[in-house]
Structure 1
């Protein structure tokens, strides 16, 4: 494996003060394709900036988190969600004295592979290309940053460091255990650039994963309440929420709903972060050695919630699943969104001329698996509004996703 780590990490000078279990940028395994070092940024900071400036990141602004973009200006998109995850992850990284640049890079990149309409689009594409290896948004994120972004003169993708790629692929834990198949695109990439799928990722990537949980647990309450999916009284049936709602009523009796909702959200985020920090520090102390290698080689996650908090979050997630993610209005809209994705896939597959010129030739090949993956790549890169516009261009009737 080619590596420019010694040269790139040498400039600018490494800033000390990180904990011994942090990922040391001076020990980075480098990039698959060597590059000259930056005079002003360390390698993980360059990764973060490349992600921020990518086309795929901008497109997240019009990709569904829970509610379709045109349902309201205040609902979260994949972009605003990713920014919120990044902020939470960066704060946790600072508290634990680990590399903030690497943490932020993984947090910002974690949703790059999501297709239009969120998990509805993912389900539709997974079924559509089941015979070609299926579709997984995490594997698609890897394809985006290693292949599909085509903006640099010297390479496809973003040519990120090994540690950022590892964190992107394994931020939710090792892959391939307990009979769980590894998505085909990840296996294909690892055949030429081994990301060591059987171990845990760096502590920075684990922070990004839990920051994602913290963000959507709190913010889906915000969006769900704004969408009239539940009332405060119903939410108070969840012990974790009731505890902070009761405290708010004592401190600010008669607080208007908008302020009450925001104060609840910020207290929930603080509670989850504080619990995570306490439990993670306990697990760090139990490592055989406080090193980055010990974090990767551990038998369990190093970054985690306590058992008590995990149980409370399971109750909260069950409530959100029932009252928000499976709300009849959300289900109706997402069902129609899945139909849009399926119909687009079938049209592009059988009529490559319907694709943009730069996508047509590869779709006309003799390998149906390659064609299916190519079309899935095109659809996965679409925003919600682009997918709707494409469906209107190609079909006589398009569902009204409202």
Structure 2
């Protein structure tokens, strides 16, 4: 969706929006279920949001997340039996399960929230946030790189599903998965362009590139500027819950986290130092985090003495379930207390997460950060990953369209200027898995060295 195609005013034919929330009514209307390009349903009887969910589930972009590391990479040093840490795909599936149930409990359409949760990491490049930073450096002169903005670009332009005729030139133009307005809005965690975050223009977080503004403005019709919709807030909290709990679990499985160390004051102080400014606002009193950690340590299900045995693994699995339920119930109860009964959706309410729950979640994130991401060998690994991205970007710049997949080769050939061609290179690199990035890097750097 590059601005060459104007959406029609009349929404496409869709089935009824929702078979009924738990409260028996639907808060969604025709504007929410409108698609950029109206299209009939191949299977009448499905809801518009069921179609959205199916399109994301069947997308190649979602499958590629199986090859992108979450926190603990397979094969890294740790316990020998830890052979299956989470990937971006398994994280997205777990986030979707959390979000679907929490959203349904609050009256959202569960398929809509699940679609947003499945989509939220689709734009992340190889090597996670490390790759994101390296790509942002490479793309500094064409609008930068941000995983959430890339997700929107992927959903609305890159993922091949629906093409329309450009009314000016007649050529076919991709509109990506052609999801509903509500689904795209629910997937938008940061509804602003770079440098336009309300109250914090220096924030590196943004949700749309300049050349994707036409579809972004269509998505955000009548939405309060800078405000995320209710479903996106549910997705965001579900993401926090899933990755804080499961990163902690993976760190225990891999042998990087020892729960006993969280009883020692020096270790606790280091964890709180990591949390403040990164996972909680700067200036937060460390005592708030100490209280949060103590509440968790006091639970009878907390995995004290984890040793990797079958019994310990079962206790840990129970702990992850207890934590997810604890965090979701806290948000559900506080939100209902604020807004009352009835379905909550779109811009009728805001998700309320109690400060205590946020502090507990932040402590878990900081524990994984301190003991998994800050391991001594990790910096060497990250440095190598940055070299792969930088050298791959340089090699593609020198040799493109050689090295590009057919989809991106055509886009490169049709790009009107250097800025647009560079964005195609960014799109290509972002689409790679960890393994395919290394493989293409080897291929292109050897080719450069040999002159072939």
Tell me, in whole angstroms, the C-alpha distance in 1 between the residues paired with 2:410 and 2:32.
38
Deviates more, 1:19-28 or 1:121-130: 19-28
| Contact 2:13/2:38, CA 8 A, preserved across alignment | no
Segments of structure 1 that go 5 or more residues without pairing to the other structure are 296-301, 398-402
Report 1:357-396 matches (<5 A): 358=406, 359-360=408-409, 362-363=411-412, 367-396=417-446
Q: How many equivalent pairs are there?
A: 385
Q: Offset of 1:139 from its aligned partner?
A: 0.4
Matching of residue 311 in structure 1 with residue 359 in structure 2 = yes
Q: Specify the SS of the correspondent of 2:218.
A: coil
What TM-score do the two structures reach when normalised by structure 1?
A: 0.85
Partner of 1:31 in structure 2? 35
Deviates more, 1:105-114 or 1:95-104: 95-104
Q: Specify the SS of the correspondent of 1:319.
A: helix
Tell me, in whole angstroms, the C-alpha distance in 2 between the residues paired with 1:170 and 1:21.
26
Report 1:205-284 matches (<5 A): 205-235=232-262, 238-244=293-299, 256-284=311-339
Provide Cα deviations, 1:28-54, integer angstroms capped at 9, x if missing partner: 250011111340311111111101111
Q: Offset of 1:185 from its aligned partner?
A: 4.0
Give the structure with the higher percent helix: 1
Partner of 2:383 in structure 1? 335
Change (3 A) 1:225 1:282: same
Partner of 1:97 in structure 2? 107
Tell me, in whole angstroms, the C-alpha distance in 1 between the residues paired with 2:211 and 2:44.
34
CA RMSD of aligned residues (A): 3.1
Change (3 A) 1:247 1:125: closer
| Contact 2:296/2:302, CA 8 A, preserved across alignment | no
Q: Specify the SS of the correspondent of 2:104.
A: helix
Change (3 A) 1:32 1:379: same
Tell me, in whole angstroms, the C-alpha distance in 1 between the residues paired with 2:8 and 2:23.
28
Deviates more, 1:155-164 or 1:132-141: 155-164
Report 1:2-401 matches (<5 A): 2-5=8-11, 7-8=13-14, 11-12=15-16, 14-19=18-23, 23-37=27-41, 38-71=43-76, 73-152=83-162, 154=164, 155-170=174-189, 176-180=197-201, 183=206, 185-192=208-215, 193-196=217-220, 198-235=225-262, 238-244=293-299, 256-285=311-340, 292-295=346-349, 302-356=350-404, 358=406, 359-360=408-409, 362-363=411-412, 367-396=417-446
| Contact 2:96/2:118, CA 8 A, preserved across alignment | yes
Tell me, in whole angstroms, the C-alpha distance in 2 between the residues paired with 1:137 and 1:208.
16
Q: Offset of 1:67 from its aligned partner?
A: 2.5
Change (3 A) 1:13 1:369: closer
| Contact 1:3/1:31, CA 8 A, preserved across alignment | no
Tell me, in whole angstroms, the C-alpha distance in 1 between the residues paired with 2:377 and 2:9.
51
